[in-house]
Amino acid sequence: MGASLRKYLVAGLLVWLPLAITIWVLAQVLDVVNGVFGSMLAALALVMPASLKDGVLELRHVPGLGLAILAGGLLTTGVLVANIFGQWLLTQWDRLMSHIPIVKSIYSSVKQVSDTLFSSSGNAFREAVLVQYPRAGSWTIAFVTGTPSGEVACHLEDEHVSIYVPTTPNPTSGFFLIVPRADVKPLHMTVDEALKYIISMGTVAPMAHPDSPCAPVDTLVRNQPG
């Protein structure tokens, strides 16, 4: 009786736990957005006439308004910078931010990272690989972020790659390594599949890709033309 009860409790937990965590993460993001939106409204109310101040502050209590304004602002900004005039404005903004002490160091670093990660022409996080870490004979999944350049590259004799080794179950923290290209094993799984594998601590393994040498024979037969 006790074993059956425990089995049902675990089965119910497996159903509701992913939904609960998803809701919790979304709630945290929404709280951050609402906090920033509330601060902006409070700053705006300071420069507005007293007759309009109360109405502006009441906007903080409208559910989802901050998120809607953020989405609209991002969409408008994207449309604006997609043309020549918008690119010119963006260049002037970057130039202004690069001349402000302290701010320029933070802004330029974050911009370089975001441009690398989210650029459609970049190669960051486009390839999942196997690498021996933290010691020989112990393997983990990593993501190729590029190739060494500048002073670092001139000290390396063979071909090397830059990789990011994420931690589990939180892949937002990890380690940056530069290793020989010959020491990494390319994987056919997508970045999304590799992230799921890491977050689940290896319990959610992706299916073998048809082009992978590890693919089952029946998979190869099903994917042959004709």
99 belongs to a structural domain:
no
87 belongs to a structural domain:
no
In CATH, what number is assigned to the domain containing residue 160? 2.30.30
User: Which of 108, 138, 114 has its CA nearest to residue 165?
Assistant: 138
Rounded Cα distance between 18 and 2, Å, is 25
Last residue of a domain, one of 15, 42, 61: 61
Instruction: Tell me: pLDDT of 223 over 70.
Output: no
Provide the residue range defining the domain that includes 31. Answer: 2-61
**Residue matched to tokens 């020549």:** 84
Residue of higher predicted confidence among 148 and 116? 148
151 belongs to a structural domain:
yes
Cα separations in angstroms, 16 against 7, 10, 13, 157: 15, 10, 5, 52
**Number of domains composing the chain:** 2
Indicate the average pLDDT of the chain: 81
**pLDDT tens digits, one per residue of 75-109:** 888 888 888 888 888 888 888 888 888 888 888 87
Last residue of a domain, one of 38, 61, 84: 61
117 belongs to a structural domain:
no
Last residue of a domain, one of 30, 46, 61: 61
95 belongs to a structural domain:
no
**pLDDT tens digits, one per residue of 175-221:** 999 999 999 999 988 888 888 888 888 888 777 766 666 655 454 44
